[in-house]
Amino acid sequence: MGGDNAPAEIINGALYAVNHFDVAIILVGDEYIIRTFNVDHPNISIIHASQSIDMDESPLQAFKKKKDSSIHVGLTLVKEGKADAFLSAGNTGAVMSCSLFILGRIPGVDRPALASVIPTKKGRALMLDMGSNVDSKPIHLEQYAMMGHFFSSQVLHVDQPKVGLINIGEEEEKGNQLTQETYESLKGNTAINFIGNLEGKDILYHKADVIVCDGFVGNTLLKFGEGLVDFIMSEIKNGILSSSPLAKLGGVLLKPVFKSIKKRIDYEEYGGAPLLGVNGVSLVAHGKSKQKAIVSAIRTAIESVESNMIDKISTAFQREYANQ
């Protein structure tokens, strides 16, 4: 029931997914509203939830007061083993807080992290944390790196993913106390392939497969990137429309190139952001998600389940912190 285009686009994405993937989907929300759409399909079922959480509601208050919200009910299905994964385009904070309280943390994980797949010159990379923790310690960033390593290798199918730490310079001694101490921790972690510091300009050139930062930096970069894409595409369009007839013709000829670029940087191609560190598969889709983005997010959920990502992260953390 959450998101700017819910429930129509959520349902459209679900219908597409059950017709193209080997998946069964439970739609959780107001059953009366859901059934006003044509959702008759053997692989789609509905579970009624009498409440929904608004985008501007306090996540903690919503968790306490709205036990029958679609987010709460859906995550409980995962907790009880009645569903393998959860996906929502609704209130991100509510998804994170409900996931943490209902699913719990993977043993050894201090703080879950919200990860996001971003487009790069060579394909795609994983960045975390994207905003679930704005105040982090070195141990948290080290754990983000480990969880990102396993998601990248198991779900994104990257062989020996390279892990980089966002900093203000490439040199080891650069940065604040957080990044300097994190650098030392990552350098000594044999479970990952740490390649050192990354500057902001390195991100889109795919210097690393997994990009680690605290939630304050990650969320700022994410919002800046979204705004930059919209700004550039808008300026190109306006520039062509206000130019000479010859320039307009050039714009028409370059239209396939612009479409290709837009496709590569479109968030709908990458779907949901996984909340790594909770003891179950939980994904957050963009609030503006339409059918295409929901389908992409469902595909990511399927890959997360089929790769046994949660068990692999859990095993790695038990091994890494067994003697601590």
Range of weakest confidence among 202-211, 234-243, 249-258: 249-258
User: Average of pLDDT values for 272-301?
Assistant: 92
What are the extents of the domains in the chain? 8-109+277-308, 115-268
Cα–Cα distance measured from residue 298 to residue 146, given in angstroms and rounded to the nearest whole number:
24
Class of domain 8-109+277-308: alpha beta
Q: What's the pLDDT band for 232 if we cut at 50, 70, 90?
A: confident
Interval 238-263 mean pLDDT:
69
Q: What confidence tens digit (pLDDT) does each residue in 81-137 have?
A: 999 999 999 999 999 999 999 999 999 899 999 998 888 888 889 999 888 888 899
What is the pLDDT confidence band of residue 259, given thresholds at 50, 70 and 90?
low
Confidence of residue 143 (pLDDT cuts 50, 70, 90): very high
C-alpha radius of gyration, the chain, whole number: 21
Residues recorded for the chain: 324
What is 115-268's CATH number?
A: 3.40.718.10
Is the dihedral angle over the CA atoms 118, 294, 283, 23 positive or is it negative?
negative
Cβ–Cβ < 8 Å for 52, 74:
no
Structural contact between residues 109 and 143, judged by C-beta atoms closer than 8 angstroms: yes
Please indicate whether residue 46 or residue 130 has the higher confidence score (pLDDT). 46
Separation in Å, CA 151 to CA 117, 163, 301, 304? 10, 12, 11, 8
Instruction: Output the furthest CA–CA distance in the chain (Å, rounded).
Output: 71
Query: Cα separation of 175 and 153, whole Å?
Result: 28
pLDDT at 265 over 70: no
pTM of the predicted model, to two decimals?
0.86
Give CA angle at 132 (126, 135), nearest 5°. 110
Return mean pLDDT, the chain: 88
pLDDT at 238 over 90: no
DSSP 164: E
- Of 172, 219, 169, the C-alpha closest to 194 is 172
* Percent of the chain topping pLDDT 70: 92
Do 115-268 and 8-109+277-308 fall under one CATH topology? yes
Which residues sit opposite 120 in a β-bridge? 123
